[in-house]
Amino acid sequence: MSNKIVIGSRESKLAVLQSQMVQDFIVQNHPDMEVDILTMKTTGDKILDRTLDKIGGKGLFVKELDRALLEGRSQLSVHSLKDMPMEESEELPILAFSKREDVRDVLVFPKGCEELDASKPIGCSSLRRKLQLQEIFPDVKVKSIRGNLQTRLEKLDSGEYSALVLAAAGLKRLGLEKRISRYFDTEEILPAAGQGILAVQGKKGLDYEYLKGYDDPEAHSVALAERAFVRYLNGGCTSPVAAYGQIQEGQLKLCGLYYEEETGHYLKGSKTGAVSEAEALGIALAKELKERCRKEYKVAKQEERKEMGKVWLVGAGPGDAGLFTLKGADVLEKADVVVYDSLVGQGILTRIPPDARLINVGKRAGHHMMPQNMINQVLADEAKKGNRVVRLKGGDPFLFGRGGEELELLTKEGVPYEVVPGVTSPISVPAYNGIPVTHRDFCSSVHIITGHKRQGMEYDIDFKALVHTKGTLVFLMGLTAMEDICKGLMEAGMDPDMPAAVLSKGTTAGQRRVIATISTLKKESDRQKIKTPAIIVVGKVCTLSEDFAWYEKLPLAGWKILVTRPRENISRTAAKLREKGAEVLELPSISISPLEDQSRLQEAFAKLNTYDWLVFTSPAGVEVFWRELGKKKVDIRCLGSVKIAAIGEGTKKKLLERSIYADFVPSVYDGDTLGKELASLLTGKEKILIPRAMLGNKTLVEELEKTGASVEDVPTYETDYQNCPLIDEKKEFEEGSIDMVVFTSASTVKGFVKSTNGLDYSRVRAACIGKQTKAAADAYGMQTYMSEKATIDSLIELVETLKRSEEKWN
């Protein structure tokens, strides 16, 4: 370690003072060291006649200092963190963050003035401040001002401005605290990311032991969160994005401001999380605000529309997601507003698009969340705002679904509509229980009757007429009135030994049936504790159920399995589980988002034929790579003789869709094995490109670099954690409703944990596709099982084996 250190600094008085603060720390802790300050004027200091968004942003304040570091003329640079670009250089990393000074922005009046002169503009240097000042002083003009702090104060005192908005930290460091006329709290004006913190920057490979103890842990954590927030939104001096983090009671609370430049719409919000996950918290808040801003703007624009929207009455079927019609799924996917009820199956609810507005009008026996006349009006009102409105109803919209009443109002008010019929329970539920509702050896008609009656009133049903039809009778919503129904039929002349059935939760994993006679059905139903929703079937066809029952014979029938997946994917895993009879709850725990900035990948495209290996670690990586190739119109022949490695079967198949055959697939489908086994094939002179997730497996790169190979690890997408607001996953596990959860990656485990915070994970039985996925689940104390091979088919076989084992012991 050299005894002489040179600190690079901008030549402004404040910048030099800040560099001296670091200089003092080094000298105090290492008296034997000589520390000098090298000052220079940066490009940002030279161009003062234009705002930063017009000349290139924050990078102009650090370019010359960076060059001095790279050339060895300095060993350190000291910056105000808020002035640094959000993308950190690998060659010139930030080494330490100072303790944070006062983070607030302040108002400074000209000397001798004590109030604001509304006839003159307020001077400020950022769009972030301008945007927030317009809310505080709507009648005062805001004008840009450039230059160092002393230059700005001179312009203020000369009478050019009524006031300046500055950072309290800079004024206090220069001993100018008395100039402050008013402090803005952080709720009035959110500060810039990193405001009040000094960043010490160095060069990769040098020894910085002398800085030990300078880095402030709290400032370091909040800086990571704030910069991750702004970096995700591509914000900085050219975009009015703000972020401010505080550590309170061991948790990090991050506040942020997002501005949508295309629409001019903006909002503020906050999020709290673990200090150890500071960057993830910043990204999560950025995504949340960006999505909320988009939704709110979309709603505002829809309310401005004059054209009429439309209503679709969609039948969701009896519960099994496989019985939802193709047209129903297509209409639901395009919905702006979804008005849904309590009988819609969970598998259908998970298909509602994430940006659709949800209105719950659920009904259960004796309880109506919203009266029918209000539901009718909601449909009409939402369509008049220009929305695509889906009225999602269990079963079929017209079979005791009051769809006709809804259409009456829509017709009256001139609202266009369509009806999408649904698979109805009086046919499908008996079918899933092996009961054909008609059979020429037994009956030639089927009759569907509502079993519901108004409290305190007699049935308005002609039981004699029903008995005389000699057909199959299906009563819906009749569980609580079963005794009256059976009594009415017997009093009308039906044989007390007529076969009858009560079928509960049909087409789902909870499906149960009781076969008896009309004279014994009530007693048997009570004994077996049958619950709603349930239907009653009366007729000789009920005797066929034991011979024709098929659903429970499927290997996974009776099991409800949670499959976590990226929202963008139609899960092959879920489809295979459904084929085996499982009720599958398909919930998006992660979302794959291609990065907006693909400049590094595009640079790689320009030299594709120079790589020896192209390594893909996920199907998503393949998708994004080829999507960007298409966008840039890059001919696939540019790959030339490049060899391709794929981490596993899913990635291999995604490549095959493009007629690309992988040259190498590891024996175990994980990043560690991929790195070790591919490394054994290398000579050490290879050039390797890995386009993959932002937070990829580090061991993969380390193993390849050990050989001497040159590895370009290029992030092309990021993984976000999500949950479905309509499904309480935690409650499902606490009530024992879910038998198994299937994980196909470690990231889906993390997404599941995010959405079930506080769950006792020892309750969770997890089938995992590989050792890394299993290790992620083990870390939370789940009961874990791993498939023999890292393939979907092997994973399904594991689930079947576990179910057979449970049945054997039960």
Which positions are annotated as active-site residues? 341, 363
Residue 151: other Cβ atoms inside 10 A:
14
The 3-class secondary structure across 142-185, one letter per residue, is EEECCCCHHHHHHHHHCCCCCEEEEEHHHHHHCCCHHHCCEECC
**Do 8 and 38 meet the contact criterion of CB atoms below 8 Å apart?**
yes
Token pair in block for residue 490: 């017997």
Q: Taking each helix axis as running N to C, give the angle between helix 372-384 and helix 403-412, from 0 to 180 degrees, rounded to the nearest 10.
A: 40
H or E element that contains 134: helix 127-136
Q: What is the DSSP string of 280-339?
A: HHHHHHHHHHHHHHHHHHHHHHHHH--S--EEEEEE-BSS-GGGS-HHHHHHHHT-SEEE
What is the phi/psi pair of residue 138, to 5°?
-65, -20
Could you give the CA distance from residue 71 to residue 66 in angstroms, rounded to a whole number? Answer: 9
Spatial separation of the C-alpha atoms in residues 109 and 156, rounded to whole Å: 8
Tell me the C-alpha to C-alpha distance, in Å, between residue 581 and each of 236, 432, 548, 584, 779.
53, 11, 16, 9, 31
Q: Which residues of 465-503 are buried (b: 16+ CB within 10 A; e: fewer)?
A: ebbeeebbbbbbbbbebbebbbebbbeeebeeebbbbbb
Q: Which two tokens stand for residue 43?
A: 């490009």
Query: Distance of CA 731 to CAs 18, 369, 580, Å?
Result: 53, 21, 26
Q: Hey, what are 726's tokens?
A: 């309509």
Task: Give 72's Cβ-side CA count (13 Å radius).
Answer: 3
Secondary structure (H, E, C), 410-433: HHHCCCCEEEECCCCHHHHHHHHC
Query: Following DSSP, what letter does each residue of 209-273 receive, concatenated?
Result: GGGTTTS-HHHHHHHHHHHHHHHHTT-BTTBB-EEEEEEETTEEEEEEEEEETTTTEEEEEEEEE
Look-up of token digits 């057909």: 471
Distance CA 106, CA 40 (A): 28
CA distance 477 to 464: 21
Q: How many CB atoms lie within 10 A of CB 750?
A: 20
Inter-residue contact 437 to 426 (CB < 8 Å): yes
Distance between CA atoms of residues 607 and 714, nearest Å: 14
Please give, one letter per residue, the 3-state secondary structure of 64-129.
Answer: HHHHHHHHCCCCEEEEEHHHCCCCCCCCCCEEEECCCCCCCEEEECCCCCCCCCCCCCEEECCHHH
Q: Checking phi first, is residue 739 left (phi over 0); if not, alpha (psi -120 to 50) or beta?
A: alpha
CB 565 within 8 A of CB 719: no
Could you tell me if 124 and 107 are in contact, meaning their C-beta atoms sit under 8 angstroms apart? no
Bridge partner residues of 446 (DSSP): 472
Here the tokens at position 381 are: 């009102």
Type of residue at 796:
I
DSSP result, 504-551: ESTTSTT-EEEEEETTTHHHHHHHTT--SSEEEEESGGGGGHHHH--G
Q: Are strands 198-201 and 94-97 parallel, antiparallel or unpaired?
A: antiparallel
Neighbouring CB atoms inside 10 A of 656's CB total 12
Residue given tokens 């050019």 in the structure block = 160
